[in-house]
Amino acid sequence: MRTRTKTGSATIHATADDDEGIGITTVYDDKGRHMGQLTQARIAQLHRRYTKHKQDHRDDPPDTVPEELARLMHRYTTGSTAERSATGKVKMTNH
């Protein structure tokens, strides 16, 4: 099952479960570049935090969930520079 959600300019794409039965969501930036992956459980947790923040800061609301996730992926760095993958993608499915 594939589901695409596009709001604003960033996109999230829920894909089928991985080998261990864990749902994976892929995040793309506004140019369609693959930014990284998160488990659907982590997406749900981040969405709850996003909703609370949005309610608490009505005068300065955040951008859409996909846009905020793309920014998160852009800010996130994994490991040391020597351990970085050649692709530069963020695989946060084990975080």
Q: What is the pLDDT of residues 80-92, one digit of tens each?
A: 455 555 555 555 5
Residue spans per domain, the chain: 3-91
Closest alpha carbon to 13 in 55, 69, 54: 69
In the chain, the percentage of residues whose pLDDT exceeds 90 is: 4
CA distance readout (Å), 69 to 41, 52, 57, 85: 14, 16, 18, 20
Q: For strand 23-28 and strand 3-7, is the pairing parallel, antiparallel, or unpaired?
A: unpaired
What is the average pLDDT across 1-25? 67
